[in-house]
C-alpha cells in the first residue's frame, strides 16, 4: 500500500480561511442582532437566527477540519476523514432548525401584525454584512474545491446561503419601504426559510453519500479508462477487483493486476508502480492510497470481472 500525499501547503491555506470564517460568523451575529433590535423586522430576525446556527456550525466545521487531518493510528487505520461528513450533516441539521425557527417567527408576526422601524438603517447594515459574507463564502468554496475539502465547501455554501438570505431581506425591506405594505416583511422571511431548507437538504444528502461511501461515477470512469489504457499499452495483461472509496480528501483504491507468469516479481512490481504513478497524476489534488495485488495472468480468478464497467450502483466504496 502506498500513500501519495497532497501538497502540505493545502492545510496552511485552509486553516486561516476557516479561522476567518469563524471570526466573520461572530461579526454577522452581532451585526444582524443589532439590526433586528433597531428595526424589529421579522426578516432581519430570521437572518440573525440563521447566524446563530451558522456560528455553531462554523465552530464544529473548524474542529472537523483539524480532526480530519489527524494521521491514522492503531484504532483508526483509515484516518479520521469521515468526521467531515458528520460536519456537513450536522451543519445541514442546524440549518433546518434555523429555517423552522424562521418560519415560526414569521407566521407569528403575520398573526399579531408586523411593526418595522428605521428601515434605512436595517438596509444599510444587512447589505454591508451580505457583501462581507459574499467575499468569505466565495473564498471558502474556492479553497474547498481546490483542496477537495468537504468541510470547507459545506461551510462556504452555508455562508453563500446566508448571502442570499440577506439579499432577500434587503429586497423585502426595500419593498416595504417602497410600498408601505409591512406584511411583505414576514412573507419574505418565509420564502427565505424555504430556500434555507433546500440548502440544508443538499448538505445532508452529501453527508449521507459520504458516510455510505457511495462511489463517484466520474472517479470510476477515470480509473477504468486509465487501466484500459495500461492494458492496451501492454503495461499489464489485465485487471479485476477494482474498488475505490473517497474519504474527505483521500481516495482509497484497490485492484488486482495480471502479469505474464514468465515475468519476475520485481518486473511486475515496477510495472505496477507505473500504473500507480499514473493514478497519482489523475487525482493531483487528493491524497491517493493505492493497494495493488499482483497475480499471474493464468490465475483461476483472472477471467472474472476483468474489465468492469461503471454504473450508478456498482463499484461502491468500502473495504
CB 153 within 8 A of CB 64: no
CB 312 within 8 A of CB 26: no
pLDDT for the residue numbered 172: 75
Q: Which residues pair with 254 in a beta bridge?
A: 243, 291
As given in the structure block, the three cell numbers for residue 63 are: 474542529
pLDDT for the residue numbered 225: 92
Low-confidence ranges of the chain (pLDDT < 70): 1-15, 43, 113-117, 148, 248-249, 285, 299-319
Distance of alpha carbon 236 from alpha carbon 238, whole angstroms: 6
pLDDT for the residue numbered 227: 92
Could you confirm whether domain 2-211 is CATH 1.20.1510.10?
yes
Domain boundaries, the chain: 2-211, 217-296
As given in the structure block, the three cell numbers for residue 284 are: 493531483
Q: Which CATH architecture has domain 217-296?
A: 2-Layer Sandwich (3.30)
Distance of alpha carbon 176 from alpha carbon 172, whole angstroms: 6
- For the beta sheet containing 238-247, the strands, ordered from the edge strand earlier in sequence to the opposite edge, are 2-4, 287-296, 250-259, 238-247
Distance of alpha carbon 67 from alpha carbon 80, whole angstroms: 7
As given in the structure block, the three cell numbers for residue 23 are: 471570526
- The mean pLDDT value of the chain amounts to 76
pLDDT for the residue numbered 319: 36
Q: Can you tell me whether residue 318 is helix, strand or coil? A: coil
CB 24 within 8 A of CB 132: yes
Buried residues in 212-251 as b, exposed as e (16+ CB within 10 A)? ebbbbeebbebbbeebeebbeeebbbbbbebbbbbbbbbb
pLDDT for the residue numbered 3: 46
Closest CA to 255 of 315, 165, 210, 207: 315
Q: What is the pLDDT of residues 231-267, one digit of tens each?
A: 888 888 888 888 888 776 678 889 899 988 888 888 8
Amino acid at each position: 500500500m502506498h500513500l501519495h500525499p497532497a501538497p502540505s501547503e493545502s492545510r496552511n491555506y485552509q486553516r486561516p480561511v476557516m479561522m476567518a470564517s469563524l471570526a466573520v460568523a461572530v461579526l454577522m451575529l452581532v451585526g444582524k442582532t443589532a439590526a433586528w433590535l433597531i428595526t424589529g423586522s421579522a426578516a432581519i430576525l430570521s437572518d440573525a437566527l440563521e447566524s446563530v446556527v451558522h456560528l455553531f456550525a462554523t465552530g464544529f466545521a473548524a474542529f472537523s477540519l483539524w480532526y480530519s487531518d489527524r494521521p491514522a493510528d492503531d484504532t483508526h487505520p483509515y484516518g479520521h476523514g469521515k468526521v467531515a461528513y458528520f460536519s456537513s450533516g450536522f451543519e445541514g441539521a442546524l440549518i433546518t432548525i434555523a429555517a423552522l425557527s424562521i418560519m415560526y417567527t414569521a407566521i407569528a408576526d403575520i398573526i399579531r401584525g408586523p411593526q418595522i422601524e428605521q428601515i434605512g438603517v436595517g438596509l444599510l447594515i444587512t447589505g454591508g454584512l451580505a457583501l462581507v459574507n459574499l467575499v468569505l463564502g466565495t473564498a471558502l468554496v474556492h479553497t474547498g474545491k481546490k483542496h477537495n475539502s468537504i468541510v470547507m465547501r459545506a461551510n462556504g455554501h452555508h455562508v453563500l446561503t446566508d448571502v442570499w438570505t440577506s439579499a432577500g431581506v434587503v429586497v423585502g425591506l426595500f419593498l416595504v419601504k417602497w410600498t408601505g405594505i409591512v406584511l411583505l416583511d414576514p412573507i419574505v422571511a418565509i420564502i427565505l426559510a424555504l430556500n434555507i431548507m433546500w440548502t440544508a437538504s443538499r448538505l445532508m444528502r452529501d453527508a449521507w453519500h459520504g458516510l455510505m461511501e457511495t462511489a463517484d461515477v466520474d472517479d470510476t470512469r477515470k480509473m477504468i479508462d486509465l487501466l484500459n489504457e495500461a492494458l492496451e499499452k501492454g503495461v499489464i495483461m489485465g485487471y479485476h477487483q477494482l474498488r475505490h472509496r473517497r474519504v474527505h480528501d483521500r481516495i482509497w483504491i484497490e485492484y488486482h493486476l495480471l502479469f505474464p507468469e514468465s515475468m519476475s516479481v520485481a518486473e511486475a512490481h515496477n510495472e505496477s508502480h507505473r500504473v500507480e504513478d499514473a493514478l497519482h497524476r489523475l487525482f493531483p489534488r487528493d491524497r491517493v492510497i493505492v493497494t495493488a495485488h499482483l497475480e499471474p495472468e493464468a490465475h483461476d480468478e483472472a477471467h472474472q470481472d476483468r474489465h468492469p464497467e461503471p454504473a450508478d450502483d456498482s463499484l461502491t466504496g468500502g473495504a
